[in-house]
Amino acid sequence: MWGLLLAVTAFAPSVGLSLGAPSALELGLSPGSTLAPHSNFTQPSTKANETSEQHVRLRVIKKKKIIVKKRKKQRQPGPPVTARPSVTTNPAKTPLVPEKQEPGCPPLGLESLRVSDSQLEASSSQSFGLGPHRGRLNIQSGLEDGDLYDGAWCAEQQDTKPWLQVDAKTSVRFSGVITQGRNSIWRYDWVTSYKVQFSNDSQTWWTSKNHSSGMDMVFPANSDPDTPVLSLLLEPQVARFIRLLPQTWFQKGSPCLRAEILACPVSDPNDLFPEAHTLGSSDSLDFRHHNYKAMRKLMKQVNEQCPNITRIYSIGKSYQGLKLYVMEMSDQPGEHELGEPEVRYVAGMHGNEALGRELLLLLMQFLCQEFLRGDPRVTRLLTETRIHLLPSMNPDGYETAYHRGSELVGWAEGRWTHQGIDLNHNFADLNTPLWYAEDDGLVPHTVPNHHLPLPSYYTLPNATVAPETWAVIKWMKRIPFVLSANLHGGELVVSYPFDMTRTPWAARELTPTPDDAVFRWLSTVYAGTNRVMQDTDRRPCHSEDFSLHGNVINGADWHTVPGSMNDFSYLHTNCFEVTVELSCDKFPHEKELPQEWENNKDALLTYLEQVRMGIAGVVRDKDTGLGIADAVIAVEGINHDVTTAWGGDYWRLLTPGDYVVTASADGYHTVKQHCQVTFEEGPVPCNFLLTKTPKQRLRELLASGDKVPSALRRKLEQLRGQKN
């Protein structure tokens, strides 16, 4: 859209347009669109307008052809460029390249909250909830307009010269602006054009000029509330302050906008301003965004660097045929070791939430490097745990988001799969049948409280189940996972099951699981070791201040999500899983990745170590010493059981306390014992030896054709007598 403006301004003198009076085409609007009545512009003549429209179409088509050719030549697996230099032509077809244009200037930090509320000012505001502190790219409003957390900065209706101002705190080279309209389910407000001013002292201002006319440059803004629109400055400006001055806005709406500013740091020869905090990490890792090809290459490099502790495998394919790659990390990759718990991290369920993907790629690099260095913490983690890292559950959605780039992808583009499916609502709803059975008094004697089967409707050929979802379900069935976290973005909070409200019509309602104490502990561990979540001075990302509750929340008490992976993991498998919302910015600029890694590194490691909490052991046959698969481990007072893996080993996450634990299996006598979980690092051993029932022994003897021992025959006769 910004290229269209440059083309128009370059040709304006030849078609008789007044640069002080841009047409709808100049502003990036469709032909026939009207400007808001607040505009001070005059409309050009019909004849001039028609001529302008023809020239504009010709130049835009040529410009698109040039861009396509350049992209083909420069195609590489590197990160997307945040902003590209504009190339336009004058009537003589001579290229006009902006002077000192610097593509790739990073965002100043409105969306990521690196720019504080105090750095934002405005000429006026309709309310506090529509104040300048809300003029941040992708800010989301609450459910009710007019609250303290509305969806944009909006100037007062009577404000004839509205402006939004950002103080960079030091001199920077401003190179571009990205804008959106107001986020609201009730109102339609967005700015359609604006001017840009700069200042070093907030008193004296100069305006971005059009090169050919010397008049103030008018930049196109938005034609809908949510699509981010980038406008590059013809010439980057070194200043401390930048102002956006809305010129026109959606008819019948208000001058409302959300914005991000692109700015490169510059050296201050006078040393008047304190040096900005440098975002960085001491770890030597690949801090950039990786598309599918680059991700595969990086995973292969880690595997080649640490072949003895890594294995790459695929659990299936996306709708478009991209493989869902997993990096396994363990001292014995490729096999389940008896007594060694299995843990997993899953990222990229929503394709545009890119930070989790990069954190898992960074984590696998870090674990490899630190294991080679002999770091005792990492060595213990890899020798006592089998770790599985799935960095991209929705690779199709990510490729869409990656193509748009970190600042231009918006809040929703790339979230869904190529089929348009939200994977976080695509797992089977096992909550409803369980709760119905509980209400009827059927749990756990008739209906189990664990490992609930898939509903029949879910397995029908016409069921809307994504291939990515099926791949993960089959993966869950193959490996006896104990602990997991699902990495998301767009907030700073850890949510735990249940994610679905028990009351069908409730949009939000506290709905804890029988293991609420364990889930709250797991959530608190991650939140308590995440640097940003522990920052008491940080402001809320959007419309809820989760810091008031320790940055953890029951998922259903936030918003109900039927068919979530967290609930499915808990009810269909042994795995305890939480959702970690990693950052206010879903797709942070790659410059921010080192700091995001430092924010989450210790939390990622500490959470994995929680698989040691509670009890663990092996359930064996007393006579043969062999492990018993699918034995049920029940804890008195907790209406949720787990089962043993194929070798008879199990893990039961529990908080410290005294527990009565029962082990049972078909054909065996039930065994009960006391197991004490202390505050010492565990897990606490709690093994079981089960004895076959006489009936089971008889079945096995008869099946093998052996003679029934006299003692067993007498025992069976005694049991029959008691029954009669």
Name the residues annotated as catalytic: 581
Which residue is it, tokens 């898992």?
A: 360
Euclidean distance between CA atoms 105 and 208, whole angstroms: 18
Euclidean distance between CA atoms 235 and 242, whole angstroms: 14
Helices 355-373 + 376-384 axis angle, to 10: 110
DSSP string over 278-295 = PP--SS----S---HHHH
Residues 195 and 177: beta-carbon distance below 8 Å? no
Please count the residues of the chain.
724
Task: Kindly give the pairing relationship between strand 120-122 and strand 191-199.
Answer: unpaired
CA trace torsion 643, 645, 650, 654 (10° rounding) = -50
Q: What are phi and psi of 23, to 5 degrees?
A: -85, 175
Locate the DSSP E strands across 417-567: 481-488, 493-496, 552-554
Residues 207 and 12: beta-carbon distance below 8 Å? no
Residue type for 345, please? Answer: Y
Euclidean distance between CA atoms 35 and 260, whole angstroms: 24
- Note if the bond before 562 is cis, omega within 30 degrees: no
Euclidean distance between CA atoms 507 and 709, whole angstroms: 63
- Note if the bond before 174 is cis, omega within 30 degrees: no
The 10 Å CB-count burial string (b at 16+, else e) for 345-363 is bbbbbbbbbbbbbbbbbbb
Task: Kindly give the pairing relationship between strand 88-89 and strand 310-317.
Answer: unpaired
Q: Which of 408, 391, 410, 421 is nearest to 322 (CA)?
A: 391
Locate the DSSP E strands across 301-357: 310-317, 323-329, 342-347
Ranges of H-type helices in 97-256: none
Q: Which of 463, 468, 475, 458 is nearest to 418 (CA)?
A: 468
Euclidean distance between CA atoms 60 and 70, whole angstroms: 15
Residues 166 and 224: beta-carbon distance below 8 Å? no
Q: Which of 588, 572, 587 is nearest to 484 (CA)?
A: 572
Q: How far is CA 350 from the centre of its chain?
A: 6
Euclidean distance between CA atoms 561 and 509, whole angstroms: 11
Q: Enter the tokens of residue 538.
A: 């940080």
Residues 616 and 682: beta-carbon distance below 8 Å? yes
Strand partners, 259: 136, 179
Q: Which of 331, 329, 305, 306 is nearest to 390 (CA)?
A: 329
Euclidean distance between CA atoms 296 and 289, whole angstroms: 13
**706 exposure class (CB count in 10 Å sphere: 0-12, 13-18, 19+):** exposed
Residues 484 and 410: beta-carbon distance below 8 Å? no
Strand partners, 172: 239, 265
Q: Enter the tokens of residue 348.
A: 């990229």
Euclidean distance between CA atoms 381 and 9, whole angstroms: 61
Euclidean distance between CA atoms 398 and 291, whole angstroms: 8
User: Residue 112 gets which letter from DSSP?
Assistant: T
**Local structure of 447: helix, strand or coil:** coil
